[in-house]
Amino acid sequence: MYNKILVAVDLSSDSQKVISSAVQLAGDASKLHLVHVVEPVAAAYSMDIYAVNISELQQEAINFAEQRLAKIGADIGVGKKCVHTLLGAPAPEVRNLASEIGADAIVMGSHGHAGWKILLGSTAIKVLHGATCDVLTVHVGEDS
């Protein structure tokens, strides 16, 4: 059914469940693209800009993510050209990459929050709104 699936992971312990679901959906890891989006350090943390070298911290975060994602890809047989580490806001970056590679579907984790958290928006909800392909959320978290 799907020929190209973009799997968005946060590199937490929940990532394996998301990846396993995507592999099952694809039937073959060669149909997968993996993506992790590193949020800009200045946006993620409030800190005194003079106290730290933000660009150095940012590069360390990107390098760490690239290494982790490359290992995950290698372990499941996803080619290097299909492993993407991006910098920016997760939802638009995932949607843009899905369009760029011509993905048929996006698979990502969701904690399935209810009430105010849905109104405030999770990354999964933000990806869904504006996606031009199917979006599958895999329930992850303590009670998954």
What CATH number is given to the structural domain containing 58? 3.40.50.620
Q: Is the pLDDT of residue 43 over 60?
A: no
Place 71 in a pLDDT band, splitting at 50, 70 and 90: very high
What angle is formed at CA 10 by the lines to CA 7 and CA 13, rounded to 5 degrees?
A: 105
Is residue 48, in this structure, part of any structural domain at all?
yes
Which structural domain, as residue segments, surrounds residue 96?
Answer: 5-139
Q: Higher model confidence: residue 29 or residue 83?
A: 83
Residue type at position 116: W
Q: Are 57 and 41 in contact (CB under 8 A)?
A: yes
Start-to-end CA distance of the chain, whole Å, equals 26
- pLDDT of 40 reads 87
Q: State mean pLDDT over 65-86.
A: 96
Q: CA–CA distance from 101 to each of 6, 23, 120 (Å)?
A: 9, 18, 29
- pLDDT of 85 reads 97
Place 116 in a pLDDT band, splitting at 50, 70 and 90: very low
Percentage of the chain modeled with pLDDT above 90:
62
Is residue 102, in this structure, part of any structural domain at all?
yes
Q: Is the pLDDT of residue 120 over 50?
A: no
Is residue 28, in this structure, part of any structural domain at all?
yes
Which range has highest mean pLDDT (14-28, 50-64, 105-119)? Answer: 14-28
Total count of domains within the chain:
1
| C-alpha span between 1 and 119 (Å, rounded) | 32
- pLDDT of 119 reads 47
Is residue 133, in this structure, part of any structural domain at all?
yes
Is residue 92, in this structure, part of any structural domain at all?
yes
- pLDDT of 143 reads 54
| C-alpha span between 98 and 132 (Å, rounded) | 8
The mean-pLDDT minimum among 22-26, 89-93, 117-121 falls in: 117-121
Q: Average pLDDT, whole number, for the chain?
A: 86
Q: State mean pLDDT over 60-73.
A: 96
For residue 14, give both structure tokens.
Answer: 């929940």
Q: Is the pLDDT of residue 132 over 50?
A: yes
Is residue 72, in this structure, part of any structural domain at all?
yes
Is residue 144, in this structure, part of any structural domain at all?
no
Q: Which distant-in-sequence residues (6+ apart) come within 8 Å of 70 by Cβ?
A: 80, 83
Is residue 115, in this structure, part of any structural domain at all?
yes
